[in-house]
Amino acid sequence: MLGWSSFEPFLISGLALGGVYALSGVGLVVLYRATGVLYLAFGAVGAMGAYLAWQTTPPNTPVGPVGWILCIVFCAVVTLAYGVIFGPPLAGRGPLVQAVCTLGLALVLFGVVDLVWPSSGGASRSLTLPTDNYGFVAGGVTVNTTQIISLVVGVVLTVGTGAFLRYSKLGTAMRAMANDREITATLGVPVRRVEAAAWLGCGVLAGVAGILLADLSALDDTTLVFTVVISALAAALIGRLRSITLTFVAALVIGLVHDLITPITSISDYRDMTPFVLAAIALLVVSRGQVMTRSREEA
Amino acid sequence: MNRREQRRSSRAGVAGAAVAVLVAVSAAAGCSSLNSGSGGKAASAPTASTPTVSTSKCGTKPGVKATGSPIVLGGITTKEPGTDFSDIGTTAAAYFDCVNDNGGINGHPVKYYPETEQTNPSQIASLAHQLVSTDHAVGIVGSSSIIECSVDNSYWKKEGFYVLGAGIDPECWSTPNTISVNMGPRYSSDGAVAHALNSHVSKIAFDQSNVPGTTYIAGGPNALAKAKHVPIQDFTENVPLTSANSVAIKLANAAGPSGAVVLNFTPPEALLILQAAQKLGLEDKVKEWGCSTPCNTDFLAKALGPKWNGKFFVNAELTPLNGDTSQTAGLYQAILAKYGKNVTGGVGSFSQMGFTDAEIATHALETVKGAYTVKSVNAAFKNIKNYVSGMQCQAFTYGNYSEHIPNNMDYTVTPDNGKMVLTQGCTAIPSVDPQIAAYRKLAGTAPQASSSGSGS
Amino acid sequence: MTVTDHRRAAGTGAPRRLPPLGRPAITRISVITVLLLLALFALPPVMSLYYTDTMTQVAIYAIVTLGLGVLVGRVGLFSLGQVAVLTIGAWTGARLLFATGQPFPVVLIEAGLVTMVIGTLITLPALRLRGLYLALITLMLAGAVTVIEATINFPNGGGGFSGYDGSLTHIPQIRRPSIAVSDAAYYRYAVIVAIIMFGLVYLHLKTRPGRAWAAIKQSEPAALAAGLNTTFYKLWALALASFVTGVAGALLAGADQELFSIDFPIQNSIELLAVVLMGGAYSITGAVIAAFLFQFLPALLQNWGVPNDWLIIIFGLGVLQVLTTAPAGIADQMPRDIRRLWRRVTRKPARPAAEGGAK
Residue B53 has pLDDT above 60, yes or no: yes
Residue B448 has pLDDT above 60, yes or no: no
Using CB atoms, which residue from A96, A233, A288 is nearest to C131?
A96
Task: Classify residue B446: in a domain, yes or no.
Answer: no
**Chain-wide mean pLDDT for chain B?**
86
Q: Are A97 and C129 inside 8 Å of each other by CB?
A: no
Q: Are C312 and A279 inside 8 Å of each other by CB?
A: no
Residue A288 has pLDDT above 70, yes or no: no
Q: Where are the beta strands (DSSP E) in A78-175?
A: 135-138, 141-144
Final residue in a domain of this structure, among B316, B349, B365: B316
Q: What is the pLDDT of residue C160?
A: 87
Q: Looking at chain C from residue 140 to 199, which residues have their Cβ under 8 Å from any Cβ of chain B?
A: 147, 150-151, 153, 156, 165-171, 173, 183
Taking the Cβ of residue B151 and every Cβ of chain C, the question of whether any pair is shorter than 8 Å is answered with: yes
B246 and B269: one domain? yes
Higher pLDDT, C47 or B322: C47
Report angle CA C87, C92, C94 to the nearest 5 degrees. 90
Query: What integer is the mean pLDDT of B314-324?
Result: 85
Higher pLDDT, A123 or C229: C229
Domain containing C241 equals 50-164+173-347
Query: What integer is the mean pLDDT of C295-302?
Result: 94
Q: Are A218 and B247 inside 8 Å of each other by CB?
A: no
Q: Are C147 and B238 inside 8 Å of each other by CB?
A: yes
Gap between the Cα atoms of B115 and B165, Å rounded? 13
Q: Which residues of A touch C143 (CB under 8 A)?
A: 230-231, 273, 275-276
Gap between the Cα atoms of C156 and C98, Å rounded? 8
Residue C323 has pLDDT above 80, yes or no: yes
Find the closest chain B residue to C58 by CA distance: B122
Higher pLDDT, B7 or B108: B108
Query: What integer is the mean pLDDT of A138-153?
Result: 88
Instruction: Report the range of poorest mean pLDDT among B124-128, B383-387, C28-32.
Output: C28-32
Query: What integer is the mean pLDDT of C202-217?
Result: 91
Q: What is the pLDDT of residue B201?
A: 96
Task: Classify residue C11: in a domain, yes or no.
Answer: no
Q: Which residues of C touch B16 (CB under 8 A)?
A: 321, 324-325
Question: Sorting pLDDT into bands at 50, 70 and 90, what band is B407?
Answer: very high
N-to-C CA span, chain C? 30
Q: Looking at chain C from residue 47 to 76, which residues have their Cβ under 8 Å from any Cβ of chain A?
A: 76
**CATH label of the domain that carries residue C61:** 1.10.3470
B140 and B67: one domain? yes
Query: What integer is the mean pLDDT of B235-249?
Result: 92
Q: Are B210 and C258 inside 8 Å of each other by CB?
A: no
Higher pLDDT, C173 or B305: C173
Q: What is the pLDDT of residue A40?
A: 94
B257 and B359: one domain? no
Taking the Cβ of residue C131 and every Cβ of chain A, the question of whether any pair is shorter than 8 Å is answered with: yes
Q: What is the pLDDT of residue C146?
A: 93
Q: How far is C314 from chain A (nearest CA, A)?
A: 7
User: Where exactly are the structural domains of chain A?
Assistant: 4-116+126-297
Q: Are C316 and A90 inside 8 Å of each other by CB?
A: no
Strand partners, C28: none
Residue A204: half-sphere exposure toward Cβ, Cα within 13 Å? 6
What CATH number should be reported for the domain whose range is A4-116+126-297? 1.10.3470
What number is the ipTM of this complex? 0.91
B277 and B330: one domain? no
C182-221 residues labelled b (16+ CB within 10 A) or e (exposed):
ebbbbbbbbbebbbebbebbeebbbeebbbbbbbbbeebe
How do residues A170-182 score in pLDDT, each as one tens digit?
989 888 888 888 8
From its phi and psi, is residue C263 left (phi > 0), alpha (psi between -120 and 50) or beta?
Answer: alpha
B307 and B342: one domain? no
Q: How far is A166 from chain B (nearest CA, A)?
A: 31
Q: Which residues of B touch A120 (CB under 8 A)?
A: 38, 79, 84-87, 343-345, 350
Gap between the Cα atoms of C277 and C352, Å rounded? 32
Q: What is the pLDDT of residue B40?
A: 36
Q: What is the pLDDT of residue C198?
A: 95
Using CB atoms, which residue from A85, A114, A259 is nearest to B15?
A85
Residue B43 has pLDDT above 60, yes or no: no
B139 and B216: one domain? no
Q: How far is A193 from chain C (nearest CA, A)?
A: 21
Residue B47 has pLDDT above 80, yes or no: no
Residue C355 has pLDDT above 50, yes or no: no
Rounded percentage of chain C residues whose pLDDT exceeds 70: 90
B77 and B158: one domain? yes
Show which subunits contact C, needing at least 3 CB pairs below 8 angstroms. Answer: A, B
Final residue in a domain of this structure, among B316, B351, B370: B316
Gap between the Cα atoms of B439 and B431, Å rounded? 9
How do residues A247-270 score in pLDDT, each as one tens digit?
999 999 999 999 999 999 889 889
Q: Looking at chain C from residue 302 to 321, which residues have their Cβ under 8 Å from any Cβ of chain A?
A: 307, 309-313, 315-320
Task: Classify residue B43: in a domain, yes or no.
Answer: no
B190 and B297: one domain? yes
B311 and B327: one domain? no
Question: Sorting pLDDT into bands at 50, 70 and 90, what band is C357?
Answer: very low
Q: Are B349 and A119 inside 8 Å of each other by CB?
A: no
B338-352, B432-446, C168-182: range with highest mean pLDDT: C168-182
Instruction: Report the range of poorest mean pLDDT among A105-109, B88-92, B439-443.
Output: B439-443
Q: What is the pLDDT of residue B31?
A: 44
Q: Are A118 and B345 inside 8 Å of each other by CB?
A: yes
Query: What integer is the mean pLDDT of A182-203?
Result: 88
- What is the sign of the dihedral through the CA atoms of C202, C206, C212 and C215? positive
Task: Classify residue B32: in a domain, yes or no.
Answer: no
Higher pLDDT, C128 or A135: A135
Residue B288 has pLDDT above 90, yes or no: yes
Q: What is the pLDDT of residue A177?
A: 83
Using CB atoms, which residue from B23, B134, B170 is nearest to C169?
B170
Q: Are A104 and C140 inside 8 Å of each other by CB?
A: no
Taking the Cβ of residue B171 and every Cβ of chain C, the question of whether any pair is shorter than 8 Å is answered with: yes
Q: Are A115 and B29 inside 8 Å of each other by CB?
A: yes
CA-to-CA dists, residue A162 to A156, A249, C101, angstroms: 9, 15, 62
How do residues A28-55 score in pLDDT, each as one tens digit?
998 898 888 999 999 999 999 999 999 9
Number of structural domains in chain C:
1
Q: What is the pLDDT of residue B456?
A: 32
**CATH label of the domain that carries residue B192:** 3.40.50.2300
Mutate to test the interface with A, among B21, B22, B146, B245 (most CBs of A within 10 A): B245
B205 and B291: one domain? yes
Strand partners, A190: none
Separation of CA C303 from chain center: 24
Find the closest chain B residue to A57 by CA distance: B41
What is the helix (H) or strand (E) element at residue B159, kind and residue range? helix B148-159
Gap between the Cα atoms of A49 and A30, Å rounded? 20
Query: What integer is the mean pLDDT of A6-20?
Result: 89
Q: What is the pLDDT of residue C74?
A: 82
Q: Are A221 and B81 inside 8 Å of each other by CB?
A: yes
Q: Are B134 and C50 inside 8 Å of each other by CB?
A: yes
A134-143, B20-29, B256-265, C347-356: range with highest mean pLDDT: B256-265
Number of structural domains in chain B:
2
Residue C6 has pLDDT above 90, yes or no: no
Q: What is the pLDDT of residue B52?
A: 61
A265-269, A292-296, C67-71: range with highest mean pLDDT: C67-71
Mutate to test the interface with B, among C6, C148, C257, C260 (most CBs of B within 10 A): C260
B173 and B294: one domain? no
Q: What is the pLDDT of residue A287?
A: 62
Domain containing B301 equals 185-316
B227 and B175: one domain? no
Gap between the Cα atoms of C191 and C295, Å rounded? 14
Q: Which residues of B touch A265 (CB under 8 A)?
A: none
Mutate to test the interface with A, among B208, B239, B279 (most CBs of A within 10 A): B279
Q: What is the pLDDT of residue B27?
A: 52
Q: What is the pLDDT of residue C14?
A: 40
